[in-house]
Chains A and B, each alone.
Chain A
Amino acid sequence: MMGSLAFVTPLLLIGLIALPILWWLLRAVPPAPIRRRFPGVALLLGLKDDESETDKTPWWLLALRIAALAAAIIGFAGPVLNPQQDRAGTGPLLVVMDASWASARDWSGRIDRVEALLEEAGRAGRPAAVVQLTDLPAGDLPLQAASAWVARLPAIAPAPFAPDYTAATEWAGGLTGPLETYWIGDGLAREGRRALAGALSDLGPLTVFESGRDVLALGPPGFEGEEIRLPILRLAGPGTGPGAGPATVDVIAHGLDPAGLPRDLARLSVDLDAEPPEAAFDLPAELRNRITRFEISGIRSAGAVMLTDDALQRRQVALIAAQSEDETQALLSPLHYLRQALAPTADLIEGALGDMLLASPDVVVLADIATLSPEEEAQVVDWVERGGLLLRFAGPRLAASDVAREEAGPLMPVRLRAGGRTVGGAMSWGETRRLREFDDTSPFFGLTIPEDVEVSAQVMAQPDPTLAERTIASLTDGTPLVTRVGLGQGSVILFHVTANAEWSSLPLSGLFVEMLERLAVSTRPAIAEAEDLAGTVWTPEQVLDGFGTLRDAGIRPGVAGEDLAVAPLSPDLLPGLYAGGDRRIARNVITADTVLGPASWPANIPVEGLDVTEPRDLMAAFLAGAFVLLLLDALAALWLAGRLSGIARGAAVLAAVALAPGLAEAQDAATDDALALLATEEVTLAYVITGDDEIDEMSRAGLQGLSNTLFQRTSVEPAPPLGVDLETDELAFFPMIYWPVTADQPLPSAAAYARLNAYMRGGGMIVFDTRDAHLGGFGSATPEGRRLRALAAALDIPPLEPVPPDHVLTRTFYLLQDFPGRHISRDVWVEAAPPDAEQIEGMPFRNLNDGVTPVLIGGNDWAAAWAQDEFGRPLFPVGRGFAGDRQREIALRFGVNLVMHVLSGNYKSDQVHVPALLDRLGQ
């Protein structure tokens, strides 16, 4: 979209007339000749030019020069794109802003627009007023000089709620015109917007400015199975077509980590084009219970934040029953009905009491457990005192034990009479008992008692002065059914019946579930209802501002419960977290019934975008263009004169320098692939490049010799060995890496160590060779040994032992007991056998090391013994005479065994089981 073009000093454009004169001048001047020293000039004497082309300046060079000059003239004339045009208008100016959470996202854009409007008004000398509809001024319109408002603009912030248009219309009705109004809208459809627009346009002309950006908001969380789902509300801005905005947003679950520090607990990318866009978090209970809020990442708006309260949390309930469950059938299990009742709404853990207390459950359920060990009891008491809820169920064991006979004890609400009672059975008097209506002090007050709930057996409480206050549910005959006592910050509750259907039908009824819910054993309060909260006062703990920043509520006054539930958000009821007693309720900007719709305006009101079109000064562009053209001209002139070769080379060097990083990367990638291909097409042995050329060459020759031997003698047919640079090369392709240790080898970087450790964990083997034939003191004696120690310090090396005589290395291909290289030291170390390795019956070896030893450490200079030239002749002398040849042969055999061990693992170890396997097959 091109705007208009204007010039600051148009007179300079007259200079363009001079261009034809320049044309004529330039044509007359040919390029200067170049002088060259050249001995062959003697041969040139007497030759004639057959053409004289470069006598005159070529036309394209002329055009280039004229274009450069024209660009310079135009540039100095000062061209400006989109010159600022003035908005006409007189009289006082009113700027009203919706200033709601929906405008927070591009608040700075709005403020910029208001600033531009105010500055314009300031230039015209108009008084102005800026009014936030979320914060209507009391009294008269605060008309001031526009510049005063500009200074106050940074202090204006959006509110975390929607403006009340009814109040605003009333307020607008009290104003006197004429008044020109600019309305910075937030783009959302709201009740009463048209009425306010009407009221304002009655005062004078009204112009509306709206942002073209999307409005995004996060809906309230809901459970679907284990998943928490949050809908994402989206209102596509008028300036953006479908899919024009970001296709995905990140939703973050924010909370405290175990150390108590606030951080992101989970992050989810949500596709906005999905129907409907929704963030589904599937989190472990520990994490979920710690979430304090969800927010859309990168969007600063109160609507993009969803605070969470108790509704999101699930209690952790520890279940303990007396008997082992395998012995009884499921329906008779004391925990079956508890599990059924709690599983949908709570997280159940089962196990040993001590272990479960470590997980700090919210509730511990003891089903028919009579006694705890003194130690356990102390732990449980401690836990209850810190706020735990202990829920006990009676049962045959409790009835039979003499727990709480003499006194209640800390973990029993009441004293119990011995034996309990049975009613309504075949062998007893009376009828089965029903439950009495809950009285209003009971936490169960208000629950309806089904007709079919009957109690046929129970444990009986001793009459006691405190019994009445501790009873929270009783039978029709007045005997307590559920008793409760506080202990420290927590409480202990006893159901006088079993948790299964043995003594009563209570666990079969829906009442059981409701009772557990009331006892906050399983908690998931629905959205707080006004009548539930009536008469309570909630104090704000934290409140949101319009940008979605959570801040401490400070000394804000408390809020009535019914207001908290239903009243619209206002300056007195900010969104935030409200606490009352031990419950917390979050009030959010977005509720389940929030719908985002586009604002509609009366047709006669002009609606403009927010964007301020900046005047663009094109002078710099034109002058830069002229400069570039002049540079081109210089190059062309050089080229014409034949002097370009050296300069071109310089330019090529410059270009190469500029491109070098990219090229190097490309090259890296290419070499990586090449290495991968080289290393994976065949089995490839590798050695570590130490930086010492001689040693590297020996390693290569050694592995080449070993590869040749493998090729000749075994089915392993390796490719030529490769050197690996630990810093840059991928190691995973190589079954074995030979690492000759030199005294002055640099230590690999941390990244290289990480790769080495990953390599060894992934089944690779590193053969360290100190080449000093002296490993008696395990590395302390020689410089190489010390270096090996330094090198291996950061490696994840398992416990080592000298190769035991029954190690699988001794028999993977050849039967060997010595592992000589150029030296014949016996000290070769491998991963130690597990301590529980046992002798295999009838075999001379133990059942050993599953897997490949990740390291093999020795100092026998194997590469030198293996080394062969391209004709297969040994490169280095080994030993003397025949004995030396033998030693070389054994060294090669050791190499073969080594590679076989790496490639086939403990296969040969497993061979001992072949007789047993055959035996079994034969059966």
Chain B
Amino acid sequence: MTGLRYVYAVCRPFDTPLQAQLGGVAGDPPRLLPHGDLVAVVSHVPEADFGEEALRAHLEDLDWLTATARAHQQVVDALTAVTTPLPLRLATVFRDDSGVRVMLEERESAFRRTLDRLEGRVEWGVKVYVEPERTEQADSERSAAPAEPEQRPVSGRDYLRRRRRQSRANEDLWSRAEEFATGLHRTLSGRADDARLHAPQNPRLSGAEGRNVLNAAYLVGRDASEEFVEMVDRTKDDAPGIRVELTGPWAAYSFAGEQEGTEEGAGKKAGEDS
């Protein structure tokens, strides 16, 4: 019993060897499984952990999910260093090598189309956060009259006035943030080959400060990436109370589906598959 096959990605054949000390999911270093002019990158994983029942249970175990997701990403990342991989969704598992080969054969033309579309491109993640708790500070920095900065309210009326000012400042910040995010997305989309909007992240999951108002992914050529990153970087002085985070380069996870040019949430693309 050699276990099941966990598939990370599908690539075109490549010559450069993968970085040596890759752990792989379940501690099994990734192997290349060539078929035709495609290569599946697989690990052998135990049925006890990756059979249907076990997998379902494991996916609700945050520690297990974290370790598996990181191992998956590590392999895809290593592939990204030597080729343009087409990453598969987490936990795509086959019975044996021949199951993987059949899959490669059945989907060959779709894989080739998608690989052509992604060739030489990477994904950059850009998130915009609003930090309302900083409004007061940001406001007093901008305000011409920072009259009563740190003083406690002296009366009920004073308190209410401050509350009102604070809430106006927040509203102002929200509308500026929306405008900013929309503008940034438009600008970056113009520089990218494709764009996707992910659902804003729950701050309790991310642990990030502030509220996530834009969570976007951009498909950018490797040779255009430096310029893209600089462009994101230049937004830094544009807006107080707003924070921009850049992640990447990623393999083109968010663009692995076959639909092009749409900006639906990546999750919606699942429907095309059957």
Determine if chain A interacts with chain B: no
